[in-house]
Structure 1
Amino acid sequence: MNSKHHSHAIEELNDTQKRVHRILTAARNPLSAYDVLDKMRAKGAVTPPTVYRSLDKLIEKGLAHRLESLNAYVACQHLHPHHHEMAAFAICEACGAVTEFTDPQIGERLAVWSESNAFAPKKITVEVRGLCESCAA
Structure 2
Amino acid sequence: MTEGRRTLTKNEALVFGALRKSDQPMSAYALLDNLRDDGLRAPVQVYRALDRLVEFGMAHRLESLNAFVACNHPDCDDAGQTAFAICDSCGKVTEFSDPALETRLADWANRASFVPNRTTVELRGHCADCSDRR
Q: Percent identity?
A: 45
1:88 to 78, 83, 88: 83
Task: Name the counterpart of 1:70.
Answer: 65
Q: Does 1:8 align with 2:2?
A: no
1:82 CA drift (Å): 4.2
Q: Which has the higher contact order (CA 8 A, sep 6+)?
A: 1
In the TM superposition, structure 1's runs of 4+ consecutive aligned residues that sit over 3 Å from their partners are 80-86
1:14-40 Cα offsets, whole Å, 9 max, x none, are 111100000000000100000000001
Q: Does 1:130 align with 2:125?
A: yes
Rounded to whole Å, the distance in 1 between the matches of 2:114 and 2:49 is: 30
Task: Name the counterpart of 2:24.
Answer: 29
Q: Which runs of 5+ in 2 are unaligned?
A: none
2:74 to 70, 73, 79: 79
* TM-score, length of structure 2 as denominator length: 0.91
Q: Which runs of 5+ in 1 are unaligned?
A: 1-5
Structure 1 residues 58 and 96, CA gap change in structure 2 (3 angstroms) = same
Structure 1 residues 118 and 29, CA gap change in structure 2 (3 angstroms) = same
1:83 CA drift (Å): 4.3
What code does the residue aligned with 2:61 have?
A: R
Aligned to 2:5, the other structure's residue is in SS state helix
Structure 1 residues 66 and 136, CA gap change in structure 2 (3 angstroms) = same
Rounded to whole Å, the distance in 2 between the matches of 1:84 and 1:51 is: 27
Root mean square deviation, CA, Å: 1.8
Task: Name the counterpart of 2:46.
Answer: 51
1:122 CA drift (Å): 0.6
